[in-house]
């Protein structure tokens, strides 16, 4: 099977060709420019590849309700040119192929669940901690969309007492997860990017406290079996152990499951697919449209 | 069909006989005393009723993993006498009948989903705001257990700036939902019960802020379609509108769905089954054990 995968991001478009096993054969990356130009380039690329279906892991918010007239559209994004872009119908019509779609984080959750770190669980949360924060949720082996789809990055968290910016930096919300803990907050808070802030800096303790609140919410609201933390901020590898310790401390023995107390390293984990969760998720979405 | 329902609480045991449509024919209430005595009384009651199966809506934490050797046991409850009580096997053996079990909040969520306020949705959260706070989650039409089962009352929330006890009163957690907003916090914080605190008191503004954080988490983490708020604290009816307004304010237009902005009264709702959600949920659990 030859499948196309589009990871549609706010700054770049990753186009790949691969198969239903999540194997990627080739990839190109295009900048996210005006929709007409960018979409035309993507269509040209996939037209020449003999793919049987396309999967899209898209930046949101998206309309994922198959009964809706605007199914597969981007909806109210702050990227004005892309607002109400008919993403899925445009590719469906231009390529004449089945097209599947989910959010970037939803697709990554699906990929980690089916082919990555979560192959042995039924319940998983994937959190991408990048310039923004997003999350995808699998419960009882199924992706959760609900009313729209999770916007995991925007629930409200408790500020750390040493945080100089306890309201955070989200234009919509005071003290939401993304506004407090996304990669883009480091420069604003510490005058230094997350890539540069030295290990041992108080900023990392604060970051771990926020990520732990995110993990505690997943463990208590969803009782999830696994939390996969991905995204650029998690490239600072020491952050995994910091987030785990802080999660254990915040839970304070509340969940009577030996895994929670003794094996948090099996619950809060790195992506099994490295940086490819999104692209592999898009391949799975393409395969699903073909009924595989 | 004649079914038994046991709502097993920390202070009382409600035993009912009813049917698979959630109709309750008769009910008795027993105090929750030493397990031997209380369980014997419950078994005596149900033995004489000709029931075909029993459903239990139990205080937790419970072991709900059907593959576990301690399936249907209460696990690490602070009620020492009941710790590791083999609730489900005891009834199964004594009555010689199929027995179903879930948490009290899980059963109530199931009841509201199948026969109550949520008959038309696929995703629902039921929150009981009583002496403690618990929650049950339905996603994609299925109850969510995950690793153990949701302990919705214990995720961390942001203290209100005017809260005189910003750490809350949970013995396990600093600033968790239950420790900040359960019925039992009113006496401790204001010297007055939630039944007596007058409308217009700042305590209600603070309570609404906390319940709104709980609703925001359900809307953003689960993207749930409906949040049913039940439990004794919600008997103060004005609290529904306060929680709704505060939720709209905290979301600040973030979810682009007209329902969220204009019809929060259809998202945050009263239980359709009044105070019977738990008992009706137990009847449904009994029916499910019979494959209905």
Model confidence over A195-217: pLDDT tens digits? 999 999 999 999 999 999 999 99
Place of tokens 């309309």: A63
- A255 has a chain B CB within 8 A of its CB: yes
B255 inside 8 A of chain A by CB:
yes
Distance from CA of B5 to the nearest CA of A (A): 25
Does the CB of B156 have a partner CB in chain A at under 8 Å?
yes
| CB burial of residue B80 (10 Å; 0-12, 13-18, 19+) | exposed
Which DSSP helix (H) or strand (E) runs through A142?
strand A142-143
Q: Inspect the interface and report whether the beta carbons of B147 and A75 lie closer than 8 Å.
A: no
Mean of pLDDT values over B14-38: 97
Are B127 and B212 in contact by the 8 Å Cβ rule? The answer is no
Q: Each residue of B67-76: pLDDT tens digit?
A: 999 999 999 8
Q: Quickly state the pLDDT bin for B77 (edges 50, 70, 90).
A: confident
CB-CB under 8 Å, B217 with A217:
yes
**pLDDT tens across B194-240, in order?**
999 999 999 999 999 999 999 999 999 999 999 999 999 999 999 99
pLDDT tier for residue A256 given thresholds of 50, 70 and 90: low
Q: Is the ipTM of this complex over 0.90?
A: yes
User: Hey, of A66, A102, A221, which one would you mutate to test binding to chain B, going by the most B CBs within 10 A of its CB?
Assistant: A221
Give the side-chain half-sphere CA count within 13 A for B38. 21
Could you write out the DSSP letters of every residue in A66-122? TTSTTTT-B-S-SSGGGTT--HHHHHHHHHTS-EEEEEHHHHHHHHHHHHSTTTT-S
* Edge-to-edge strands, sheet with B12-18: B24-31, B12-18, B3-8, B53-58, B99-103
Q: Which of residues 39 through 78 in chain B touch A, CB cutoff 8 A?
A: 61, 75-76
Q: How confident is the model at residue A76 (pLDDT cuts 50, 70, 90)?
A: confident
Report the distance separating Cα B244 and Cα B265, nearest Å.
Answer: 7
A202 reaches B (C-beta below 8 A):
no
Inter-residue contact B102 to B154 (CB < 8 Å):
no
Chain B positions touching A251 (Cβ under 8 A) are 173
Residue written as tokens 């079914």?
A: B3
Q: How confident is the model at residue B266 (pLDDT cuts 50, 70, 90)?
A: very high
Which long-range contacts link B242-248 to residues 24+ away (Cβ below 8 Å)? Answer: B242/B204, B242/B205, B242/B207, B242/B208, B243/B208, B243/B211, B243/B212, B243/B215, B243/B268, B244/B268, B245/B208, B246/B208, B246/B209, B246/B211, B246/B212, B247/B212, B247/B215, B247/B216, B247/B219
Look at residue B68 in the predicted model and tell me its pLDDT.
93
B73 contacts in A (CB within 8 Å)? none
Residues in chain A with CB shorter than 8 Å from the CB of B257 are: 147-148
Separation of alpha carbons B147 and B62, rounded Å: 11
């Amino acid at each position: 099977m030859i499948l196309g995968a589009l990871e549609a991001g706010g700054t770049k478009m990753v186009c790949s060709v691969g198969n239903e096993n999540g194997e990627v054969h080739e990839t190109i990356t295009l900048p996210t420019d005006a929709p007409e130009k960018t979409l035309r380039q993507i269509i040209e690329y996939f037209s020449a590849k003999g793919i049987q279906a396309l999967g899209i892991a898209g930046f949101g918010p998206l309309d994922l309700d198959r009964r809706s007239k605007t199914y597969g559209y981007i909806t109210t994004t702050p990227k004005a040119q892309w607002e109400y872009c008919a993403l899925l119908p445009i590719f469906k019509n231009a390529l004449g192929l089945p097209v599947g779609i989910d959010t970037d984080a939803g697709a990554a959750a699906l990929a980690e669940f089916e082919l990555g770190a979560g192959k042995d669980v039924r319940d998983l949360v994937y959190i991408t901690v990048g310039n923004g924060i997003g999350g995808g949720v699998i419960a009882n082996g199924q992706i959760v969309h609900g009313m729209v789809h999770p916007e995991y990055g925007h629930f409200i968290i408790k500020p750390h007492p040493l945080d100089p910016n306890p309201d955070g930096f989200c234009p919509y919300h005071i003290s939401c997860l993304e506004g407090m803990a996304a990669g883009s907050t480091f420069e604003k808070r510490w005058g230094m990017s997350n890539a540069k802030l030295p290990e041992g800096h108080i900023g990392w303790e604060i970051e771990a406290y926020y990520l732990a609140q995110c993990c505690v919410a997943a463990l208590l609201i969803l009782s999830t079996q696994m939390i996969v933390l991905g995204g650029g901020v998690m490239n600072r590898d020491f952050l995994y152990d910091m987030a785990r310790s802080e999660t254990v401390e915040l839970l304070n023995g509340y969940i009577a499951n030996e895994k929670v107390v003794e094996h948090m390293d099996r619950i809060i984990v790195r992506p099994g697919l490295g940086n490819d969760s999104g692209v592999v998720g898009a391949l799975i979405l393409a395969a699903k449209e073909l009924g595989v």
